[in-house]
Amino acid sequence: MSVALDHDRPELAAIREHMIIGGKPWTEGDGDAIPVYDPARGVVIAHQLEAGPRQVNEAVKAARHAFEAPAWRDMLPVARERLLLRLADLVEQHGDELARLETLNNGKLLALSQGLEVGAGAQWLRYMAGWATKISGETLNVSIPFPPGVNYHAYTRPEPVGVVAAIVPWNFPLLMAIWKIAPAVATGCTVVLKPAEETPLTAIRLAELALEAGFPPGVVNVITGRGEVTGAALVAHPDVDKIAFTGSTEVGKLIGRQAVDDMKRVSLELGGKSPVIILDDCDIDLAIQGAAGAIFFNQGQVCTAGSRLFVQKGIYDRVVAGLADIASGMKLGSGLDPDTQIGPMISARHQKRVLDYIAIGKQEGARMLAGGAADEGEGYFVRPTVFAHAPAGARISREEIFGPVVVAGAFDTEEDAIACANDTQFGLGASIWSNDLTRVNRLVPRIRAGTVWVNTHNMLDPHMPFGGYKQSGIGREHGHAAIDMYLEKKSVCMAYPAAH
Ligand code: NAP
Ligand code: MG
């Protein structure tokens, strides 16, 4: 059972231990319930059910039923728009409860939960609401010559792809749920969402708010459980039309292979090892702050985290010393404490993984300038860590650590900077720090990444397509691109006699 906590706190009153299937709380799982933790204290705050094949089937059935029901199928686009706008309002009205719940469950700073999970979440809902009324096909001037005397009227009809299985990670739980649900329902799809097993709480609450907003039952379903059980059953379900996945490259590949077997539509937002390139003409203080923000934001648990830092010789020592100073001075603690700058890792397991990488970095011969293990009570803390002088091919420079660990290196020329930046299997994000537009314009086209920032890092907008080159994924979220991922294109070709 959940630990006894002060139930006046709005985030505690918002904890739900059920799933939402077909518009109703679903209280039966398969097997044992799974504990949900507060990572800042290492204590259990709730339990979640695990959906096995039977519950997954119920959820997919509910989504299919809702997809085909006239209440949803025939709903005017403007009515779908209104529902999304109402949901955005409700997310804001419940912002305090949702933000505190996210920080309790995920550990992130409360300001981030307020600004990103809730604030940006509402912004994304409103942006996608606007798309509901702006989906259009094309009239096609075709040249079909047969049979003589017949003309053709041809056009395309965008149609919702159907039942979407959405699987998301734990680093931005509410925001990622919205990134999947909003474009899916804007197009007229229905959704079964599986949040990460570490962070199911805000997703369940979001599904409740969707019902309150007036979404028909079964349009937004949330099922909980482990990836290898619930996620796998959802991916394998024959009545799922599309899988929208955000997570690790390893699991993304597994899902991609399975999707192809069934010809399910699939979009994959995967891992990264994003470079931060600092040129010697930059505003050095801004670049040092920027490099720190790029890696330590959200404890480095960010797919676009700037985990590889490349600084031009000449300013390298100053930048790296400045970064190590910032890292050493950061205050660790609970995300609910307004003085905290670095919260806990998501779980004991993930903390161990990050600390193992720090040990690997030392064994590989890299020099640790700041960071390492932390002893902040029972929580899963890791100090912001800066490595330099890693040998070529070091694992800490190549593998995604997904924690507050950056590896710094120096480069000489722009050509070297490009070679360093692109020397990775990933291609999600990159940033360039420079005040020389000529140099920036030379570099931008040569970086193999889905997003390149200049004098900033990690900034996203609902209108800006987002996704990966190389092993960082397939497809683009946000903007028009996101809408296209939830649509099929039907060609309609009508014959009529040319003359009366
Ligand atoms: P993960 O282990 O790949 O898990 C992601 C989601 O997939 C979770 O809900 C997980 O369930 C589920 N899952 C695991 N195995 C599965 C299977 N066999 N079948 C179906 N679903 C399965 O990733 P994570 O550790 O939660 O998140 C960190 C990763 O996400 C990093 O690699 C990061 O770069 C990536 N990420 C990418 C983006 C992006 O937009 N490109 C954004 C954020 C994060 P469980 O929770 O039970 O494991
Ligand atoms: Mg996981």
- Which residues line ligand 1 at a C-beta cut-off of 6 Å? 167-171, 194, 196-197, 226-228, 231-232, 235, 246-248, 251, 254-255, 269-272, 303, 400, 402, 428, 468, 473
Question: Do 318 and 209 share a domain, yes or no?
Answer: no
Nearest CA to ligand 1 atom 12: 227
Q: What is the DSSP letter of 302?
A: -
Q: Which structural domain range is residue 290 located in?
A: 275-461
CATH code, domain carrying 340: 3.40.309.10
298 and 226 together in one domain: no
Note the ligand closest to the C-alpha atom of 403. Answer: 1
pLDDT tier, 2 (very low <50, low <70, confident <90, very high otherwise): very low
Mean of pLDDT values over 390-404: 97
Residues 442 and 337 in one domain: yes
> Closest Cα partner for 17 from 117, 128, 105, 123?
105
396 shares its domain with 432: yes
Residues noted as catalytic: 269, 303
By alpha-carbon position, which residue is closest to atom 32 of ligand 1? 248
Instruction: Looking at the structure, tell me whether residues 201 and 322 fall in a common domain.
Output: no
- Cα distance between residue 197 and residue 262, in whole Å: 26
- Output the domain CATH number for residue 238: 3.40.605.10
With tokens 């920036």, the residue in question is: 440
The answer to whether 173 and 195 have CB atoms below 8 angstroms apart is yes
- Give helix 201-213 / helix 173-187 axis angle, nearest 10°: 30
- 7-58 residue pLDDT tens: 578 899 999 999 999 999 999 999 899 999 999 999 999 999 999 999 999 9
In a domain, 469, yes or no: no
Token code pair at residue 161: 């792809």
Same domain for 289 and 213: no
CA of 45 to the centre of ligand 2 (A): 18
Spatial distance between the Cα atoms of 170 and 192, rounded to a whole number of angstroms: 17
Residue 64 lies in a domain: yes
Rounded distance from Cα 251 to ligand 2 centre (Å): 9
Closest CA to 63 of 134, 135, 163, 155: 163
Residue 429 lies in a domain: yes
Average pLDDT over all residues of the chain: 97
pLDDT value at position 394?
Answer: 98
Same domain, yes or no: 226 and 354: no
- 331 pLDDT band (50/70/90 cuts)? very high
Residue nearest to atom 18 of ligand 1 (CA): 228
CA–centroid distance, residue 227 to ligand 2 (Å):
7
Rg, C-alpha atoms of the chain: 24
Sign of torsion over alpha carbons 416, 420, 422, 428: negative
| Of residues 136, 97, 70, 127, the one with CA closest to residue 9 | 97
Report percent pLDDT > 90 for the chain.
96
Q: Which ligand is nearest to the CA of 231?
A: 1
- Residue 438, CB half-sphere, CA atoms under 13 Å: how many? 1
Q: Does residue 143 fall inside a structural domain? A: yes
* Residues 302 and 262 reside in one and the same domain: no
Residue 3 domain-assigned (yes or no): no
Q: Specify the higher pLDDT residue, 2 or 490.
A: 490
CA of 89 to the centre of ligand 1 (A): 29
How confident is the model over 446-469, as pLDDT tens digits?
999 999 999 999 999 999 999 999
Mean pLDDT calculated for residue range 54-80: 98
Q: Is residue 496 part of a domain?
A: no
Confidence of residue 378 (pLDDT cuts 50, 70, 90): confident
Cα 172 to ligand 2 centre (Å):
13
What's the pLDDT tens digit per position in 149-182? 999 999 999 999 999 999 999 999 999 999 999 9
**Probe ligand 1: pick from 235, 303, 351, 466, max atoms within 8 Å of CB?**
303
Pairing of strands 367-373, 382-388: antiparallel
240 and 281 in a single domain? The answer is: no
Residue 6 is predicted with a pLDDT of 55
Residue 494 lies in a domain: no
pLDDT digits (tens, 9 = 90+) for 208-258: 999 999 999 999 999 999 999 999 999 999 999 999 999 999 999 999 999
- Whether residue 308 is found in the same domain as residue 447: yes
Give me the amino acid identity at 368: M
| Average pLDDT of the residues in 86-100 | 98
d(CA 426, CA 274): 8
Q: How many domains does the chain have?
A: 2
Other beta carbons within 10 angstroms of residue 416's beta carbon come to 15
What CA–CA distance (Å, rounded) separates 346 from 175?
A: 16
Nearest-angstrom CA–CA distance, 305 and 385: 13
Q: Do 196 and 249 fall within a single domain?
A: yes
Question: Nearest-CA neighbor of 428 among 410, 404, 453, 403?
Answer: 453
pLDDT over threshold 50, residue 183: yes
Q: Is the pLDDT of residue 92 over 80?
A: yes
Q: Which ligand is nearest to the CA of 230?
A: 1
- 354/205 same-domain check: no
Tokens standing for residue 56: 């997954």
In a domain, 94, yes or no: yes
